[in-house]
Structure 1
């Protein structure tokens, strides 16, 4: 194992805890008739690392360990090994198809036996069908139509896993072919990429952060991404789970082999195996929940149950040429009414025609009192209080840190 060191809480973080208390007074009602303007800061949820903040710190010569120390205070740099299973959500059809390649084989999960797939039969692709968790899978190959193939002369007893001697494999998807490191499985109706943590992170860093950014920012992203994957795996319900993460923003974007670049891979290799752990509750020595977002707008957001996800002023975003530091959005009256009346309806309230918006609660950190926690939708029939995040996603705001103006 590599040497371990504790990421101590820096003075910069500790001096920012003395922000204002959350603001609870209702703000003036803002009419939605005409054009309503939202002026805001940041892009994303704001918890954990800001990618633009990491960039700003790296520009100012901060090392990755110090960057992570600011965003995840109290965590410890540790090591992780093993593999991770990624659900490839772009493969939305009813089978899993890979392209032929020298050294391609299939392993039967039930027997553990591996069978080399021939290159002499003229197959243009290999396909697994079946929707079960551990049985009922069939293998076939394409050559002027699909033909059944029995590896070793037998049907598969369990699910199948494709792999190659080169450790790379290409999957045929509805949107085009994509290559991945590791193995490809079909389980529970999903196409799964099983690969090492570092191979996974190579496909994440390049998809989440521009490769031209400073190396210490890329290293910070690599460690945060690896830790997030390890946390997701550790908190899944057990080894029988089909997958640990998917390849979208539901977890973190994973682009596979095609997304990789030499600089982002350099950052992954330079931090190989490193993750952040937290000794106290609730993680108890396990991987930390290293959430990150594009931009926090100047203040990080506290996590409800994670002591290392704290609210702190982040002054380094200004050095990262951050296009999301300040933004405006002016949706039309019809857009607001249509989308927010639907939001209220989804929550069980018919508000009639939306007339006003009224901020009810903020988190107390930064300009205007900080991020909107709750906002009231006032209609001709009724009103309802919804979360700031609910409103953000309903109308497409970049963050919940905003001010309203008619």
Structure 2
């Protein structure tokens, strides 16, 4: 059983399950120092109030819907959230790591028209319709990959490969079998070796960029939102994949299928309305200096986007994020002081919280950049991102209110660590 290393390119780029689960601005000033400090008595409640969901870089997905409801087109939405980029096109294949397939083989459901390709051999082989229920590529005893089929309750050898093996279905979806279930994908599924000497294998989906975006959009934004918002998501997703393709995450693939990159669910995730948005924006993408732009996006800016790693991910006031349907524009969470003491045991008993630096934008001085926790046994200096990650908070744009628990029995607040994705299932 393989476990994949953390894939952190997108770093909390996010969206939310919140939409389903809950049913021209100015440039940013430099990070601002702050003296915000809260004394924490023994047995305290901490009420954390915040804005937004995610890192805040680039497009707010709730903001995109708010903008669409005010009459902005997809291009106007994109131009607002990625100022300084130019319009271009993107096409060609993309290779996606399928992280759910962790068992170092590639198993697909048998169907008419299955085709096998060997990267070391010209042409392709149409697999026989021989009554098999499954076809498999795995690693043989000599280290070469082999092809087998399941029939009569046992596996039968079909051939040995000289190179990397791919299975496709002549343009039709092909159903992958993983330890957790089955899922259909467009294009080709291949079993690839990360290194020449390893018996470990990656399952990779190779398909056109347009078909890939079809499997992303309904998992990143509700497909039945305003067409302009869904079209804007299509453009951002296509551009993001193009950027990752130019900066691949692995030796056998270019992008992953989780929220560490952008969520991709293959053919099974597609939705007719999202497909319409993809078709309406076919090949449209953003460029920066002639190359694909790094179009990060997140669920909710909370009213201000935050500056990212490139010039076009600017901090600016976002007038579109606060529409009435956004449940995470403003939020609050109540937890016991012991939650922090358990997270940072070097503190002992928590006595004081001090925010030392914010980004300077919006309520309370903006997103927390740095803070100090002081306890009876010592102090801990943490970044806002670390504080958010450890406690599972929605964003770093937050402030505190401290109250006495008055000896009440501790109630642990649940971690709000849901990936920032706007939808789940047919997200």
TM-score interval for Structure 1 and Structure 2 normalised by the shorter chain: 0.7 to 0.9
Determine which of 123, 129, 147 is the counterpart of 2:132. Answer: 123
1:326: which partner in 2?
Answer: 330
Q: Residues 52 and 320 of structure 1 are in contact (CA less than 8 Å); yes or no, is this contact kept in structure 2? A: no
Question: What is the CA–CA distance in structure 2 between the aligned matches of 1:47 and 1:395, rounded to whole Å?
Answer: 21
Q: Does 1:313 align with 2:317?
A: yes
2:179: which partner in 1?
Answer: 174
Structure 1 37/382 Cα, relative in aligned 2: closer, same or farther at 3 Å?
A: same
Determine which of 74, 83, 87 is the counterpart of 1:77. Answer: 87
Q: Does 1:246 align with 2:256?
A: yes
Q: Residues 184 and 192 of structure 1 are in contact (CA less than 8 Å); yes or no, is this contact kept in structure 2? A: yes
1:27: which partner in 2?
Answer: 36
Question: What is the CA–CA distance in structure 1 between the aligned matches of 2:358 and 2:184, rounded to whole Å?
Answer: 45
SS in 2 for 1:226: helix
Q: Does 1:224 align with 2:233?
A: no
1:234: which partner in 2?
Answer: 246
Greater relative contact order (Cα 8 A, min sep 6): structure 1 or 2?
2
* TM-score (structure 2 length as normaliser): 0.83
Q: Residues 136 and 159 of structure 1 are in contact (CA less than 8 Å); yes or no, is this contact kept in structure 2? A: no
Q: Does 1:404 align with 2:400?
A: yes
Question: What is the CA–CA distance in structure 2 between the aligned matches of 1:332 and 1:28, rounded to whole Å?
Answer: 18
Question: What is the CA–CA distance in structure 1 between the aligned matches of 2:258 and 2:344, rounded to whole Å?
Answer: 26
Segments ≥4 residues shifted beyond 3 Å: 350-355
Q: Does 1:388 align with 2:384?
A: yes
Unaligned 5+ runs, structure 1: 1-11, 280-284, 342-349
Q: CA RMSD in A?
A: 1.8
Unaligned 5+ runs, structure 2: 1-23, 194-200, 403-427
Query: Alpha-carbon deviations, 1:360-382, whole Å to 9, x = none?
Result: 11000000000000111223332
1:94: which partner in 2?
Answer: 104
Question: What is the CA–CA distance in structure 2 between the aligned matches of 1:384 and 1:131, rounded to whole Å?
Answer: 52
Q: How far did residue 303 of structure 1 move? A: 1.1
Q: Residues 149 and 158 of structure 2 are in contact (CA less than 8 Å); yes or no, is this contact kept in structure 1? A: no
Structure 1 20/159 Cα, relative in aligned 2: closer, same or farther at 3 Å?
A: closer
Determine which of 352, 357, 364 is the counterpart of 1:361. Answer: 357
Determine which of 79, 87, 108 is the counterpart of 2:118. Answer: 108
Q: Does 1:144 align with 2:140?
A: no
Q: How far did residue 21 of structure 1 move? A: 4.5
Q: How far did residue 77 of structure 1 move? A: 1.3
2:189: which partner in 1?
Answer: 184
2:307: which partner in 1?
Answer: 302
Query: Alpha-carbon deviations, 1:225-253, whole Å to 9, x = none?
Result: 0000000110127xx82111111100011
Query: Alpha-carbon deviations, 1:46-92, whole Å to 9, x = none?
Result: 00000011001111110111111011011111111111111111112
* TM-score (structure 1 length as normaliser): 0.87
Question: What is the CA–CA distance in structure 1 between the aligned matches of 2:120 and 2:293, rounded to whole Å?
Answer: 34
Q: How far did residue 393 of structure 1 move? A: 0.9
Question: What is the CA–CA distance in structure 2 between the aligned matches of 1:21 and 1:223, rounded to whole Å?
Answer: 30
Query: Alpha-carbon deviations, 1:74-129, whole Å to 9, x = none?
Result: 11111111111111111122321101111101111122431111112x21101111
